[in-house]
Amino acid sequence: MDANAQFPDFAPLATLCQQSFSLPVAEAVPAAVTAPWCLTLLAVEVEAAQLHKLAEFLRECHWQPTAVDILAARPGCNVVRLQLDGDIAFNAARLALLELGLELGLELVLQQGHTQRAPKLACFDMDSTLIQAEVIDELAKIAGVGDQVAEITLSAMRGELDFQQSFRKRMRLLKGFTEASLAEIAPRIPIMPGAQRLLLALRALGCKTAILSGGFTYFAHYLQDNHLAVDFVHANQLEFDGGALTGGVIDPIVDGARKALLLQEIASDLGLSLDQVIAVGDGANDLPMLSLGALGIAFHAKPKVRAEAPQAIDGFGLDAALYLFGLSDGQISALLEASAQ
């Protein structure tokens, strides 16, 4: 049986997936996408009971699977892609699938079939997306104003301050922080698991990449120069005087609206339409750009952001986004080998 299994009804779904998992996924080429929708299932392990419940859900929704591909089948990461035909109202469907995924212990990501392809431009938030830290919070802790900065952040989350107001207040508290201290901190910032693999694979695919961050250019350029294959950087500039932060802000501040504007400007400069662009982020200020492209992936995001973003990945590394481009582990490995040559 071919790993790119075709099936006319729901009953064999679990059986077909189980049989396909026994095949050499690394050598399999995923089927061409011909259906209007794709549903990607990601799980540490996939059990027959989960697949039976998913099949029952699809039957009740009148969503017809037309093909199944196993994109990954290895310890700790199993990925199944279903092509679906049916009258699907996207917003209602993705929320229902988020709820079902929580119930079954799976991640279920819905997207239009034509978006199962490599993008031409990928835009990323930096803090808690490409790196495992919120830099401004880390600086505040070192400066001894961590609690004050945290309270301002909480106030912004409650809607009492917008991002620009909260950013200016937090920067004032960092007045006097030295550039020498920043240079010591930068090498210690942990990279998000999967970030380097994802960016190298995107470069091998010919995709341009951008950091669009409410953080700082100082750290974004450090990542670009030392760790991450990034083409463009847009973030907030730190203002120094005598080797220390002034506490001031250099306009324009990169907030959610500016991220969305920058994404559109970069795409226009590259001659790309928005359906050739994806965006990835974790915060509420990422939602404007997540709503623009072919895919808007909330990564390890808070429940509110996950519920509003078009797509979401929670329990895997950043490179799991490659499965939403229709790539199998074998194809991803080949891209990474090519990028190393």
Q: Which domains does the chain have, with CATH numbers?
A: 5-116 (3.30.70.260), 121-134+192-311 (3.40.50.1000)
Amino acid at 236: N
For residue 73 the two structure tokens come to 């089948």
Supply the pLDDT for residue 4.
41
Amino acid at 103: E
Supply the pLDDT for residue 155.
77
DSSP 8-state secondary structure symbol assigned to residue 33: P
For the residues of 110-145, what is the DSSP string, one character each?
Answer: EEEGGG-S--SEEEE--BTTTBSS-HHHHHHHHHT-
CB of 124 closer than 8 Å to CB of 280: yes
CA distance 323 to 189: 27
CA distance 143 to 152: 15
Q: Catalytic: which of 69, 127, 282, 319?
A: 127
Measuring CA to CA, which residue among 223, 204, 156, 227 is closest to residue 325? 204
Q: Catalytic: which of 69, 125, 255, 286?
A: 125
Helix (H, G, I), strand (E, B) or coil at 219: helix
What distance separates the 2 farthest-apart alpha carbons in the chain? Answer: 71
- Any residues with CB less than 8 A from the CB of 303 and at least 6 apart, and which? none
Q: Give the number of other Cβ atoms within 10 Å of residue 6's Cβ.
A: 12
CA distance 88 to 91: 9
* Catalytic residue check, 251: no
Helix (H, G, I), strand (E, B) or coil at 90: helix
Count the alpha carbons within 13 Å of 136 in the hemisphere toward its beta carbon: 28
* Catalytic residue check, 127: yes
For residue 219 the two structure tokens come to 């750290």
DSSP 8-state secondary structure symbol assigned to residue 188: G
Measuring CA to CA, which residue among 170, 193, 226 is closest to residue 320? 193
pLDDT tens for the chain, residues 1 to 341: 233 443 334 445 555 555 444 444 445 689 999 999 999 999 999 988 999 999 999 999 999 999 999 999 999 999 999 999 999 999 999 999 999 999 999 999 999 999 999 999 999 999 999 999 989 988 999 999 999 998 887 777 566 788 888 899 999 999 999 999 999 999 999 999 999 999 999 999 999 999 999 999 999 999 999 999 999 999 999 999 999 999 999 999 999 999 999 999 999 999 999 999 999 999 888 999 999 999 999 999 988 899 999 999 999 999 999 999 999 999 999 999 987 77
Supply the pLDDT for residue 217.
96
DSSP 8-state secondary structure symbol assigned to residue 12: T
CB of 235 closer than 8 Å to CB of 220: yes
